[in-house]
Amino acid sequence: MTEPEAHKPPEEETRALRRVRRAQRLLDQLFRGLPLASRMRVGAFMAFKAVLASTFAYGVGFLLNPEEAFWAAISAIAVTQPHYGDTQHSGRDRVLGTTFGGIAGMLGLWIGGDGDLLSFAVALGLVTLACWTANAGAAARIGGITSAIVLLVPAAGPRWEVAAWRLGEVICGTACALAVGWLVSRLEHRVEEKAEGEPG
């Protein structure tokens, strides 16, 4: 972040946020306006990436920890996006949120123990604040979910293992989604170039 960006007046930040939201809406409208064949092609590649990444992640996760392998598959699906750059950002948010959520959950366990609603509220507040402070607001949802899993979901064995395995499975799923996304994006790029070269 450059020096001028760090010290933008609040009204400039508000205008910038409004422009970003308008751009997102415009992109959504443009995508919905694509011809059916183009939407189906994008959807087919998205399905291919999600199936391949989640299957691969589940297989690796199953080798490491059969009882928790589903978290790797879920992470791969959650991280996979239509564009590879978006997959990278989503993966970063997922790993960061899970890390912060695990730490906040462990702090909540130290404060009040598992199942304690006040400890969960403190952990949720801390992880949300930490993610926004780290300029990763999207990671806050994942952090909150991880805190809830560590603090509120009944589990056998030490709670630190829950946080550690959760982080490991998320990293596994994210790595699989990134690898598959990178490979499939190369194929997708070639198909798109070929489709654009065809006479309309």
Which is nearest to 82 in space by CA: 38, 21, 16? 38
- Give per-residue pLDDT as tens, 36-71: 887 888 889 899 999 999 999 999 999 998 888 999
For residue 143, the SS3 value is helix
Vertex 197, ends 194 and 199: CA angle to 5°?
A: 125
* Res. 185: pLDDT tops 60: yes
* Res. 17: pLDDT tops 80: no
CA–CA distance, 109 with 123 (Å, rounded to integer): 9
CA–CA distance, 107 with 95 (Å, rounded to integer): 18
- For position 80, what pLDDT does the model report? 94
Q: Which residue has the higher pLDDT, 110 or 182?
A: 182
User: Exposed/middle/buried for 36, CB within 10 Å: 0-12, 13-18, 19+?
Assistant: exposed
Q: Where are the domains of the chain?
A: 1-33, 36-197
Instruction: Provide Rg for the chain, Cα atoms.
Output: 20
